[in-house]
């Protein structure tokens, strides 16, 4: 299993509880849609739930600067993968 160490956010309010550490485990393959194990609508719903869960833990644990850069990197990489080119901040 691949493990990556990432800095977590620090609390900035005196007396506040420390930011909880997070582990994300990705090890169960999604059932095969083509083989009928999972219907396409069910797959889309699971993708949404997984994305919401990942967002929730990352937004609550990462420093703001890391989270902002993650958004930018993900948008840029996705645009490149689908053939868009970003020039001066515009696709």
> Out of 13-17, 24-28, 32-36, 73-77, which region has the weakest mean confidence (pLDDT)?
32-36
**Mean of the per-residue pLDDT values for the chain?**
87
What lies within 8 Å, CB to CB, of 50 at 6+ separation is none
Q: Once rounded to an integer, what is the mean pLDDT over residues 5-26? A: 92
* Residue pLDDT, tens place only, 46-71: 889 999 999 999 999 999 999 999 99
Asked whether the predicted pLDDT for residue 39 surpasses 70, the reply is: yes
Q: Tell me, yes or no, whether 30 lies in a domain.
A: no
Q: Does residue 32 form part of some domain?
A: no
The whole-number pLDDT of residue 84 equals 76
Residue 32: partners with Cβ closer than 8 Å, 6 or more residues away? 38
The pLDDT of residue 20 is 93
Show the domain range for 58.
Answer: 1-25+37-91
71: nearest Cα among 50, 62, 82: 62
Tell me whether residue 78 is in a domain: yes
The 3-state secondary structure of 31-81 reads CCCCCCCCCHHHHHHHHHHHHHHHHHHHHHHCCHHHHHHHHHHHHHHHHHH
31 lies in some domain: no
């Amino acid at each position: 299993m691949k493990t990556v160490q990432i800095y977590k956010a620090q609390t900035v309010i005196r007396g506040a509880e420390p930011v909880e550490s997070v582990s994300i485990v990705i090890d169960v393959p999604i059932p095969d849609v083509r083989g009928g194990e999972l219907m396409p609508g069910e797959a889309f719903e699971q993708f949404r739930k997984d994305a919401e869960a990942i967002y929730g833990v990352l937004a609550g644990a990462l420093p703001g600067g890391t989270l902002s850069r993650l958004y930018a990197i993900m948008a840029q990489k996705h645009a490149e993968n689908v053939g868009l080119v970003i020039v001066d901040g515009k696709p």
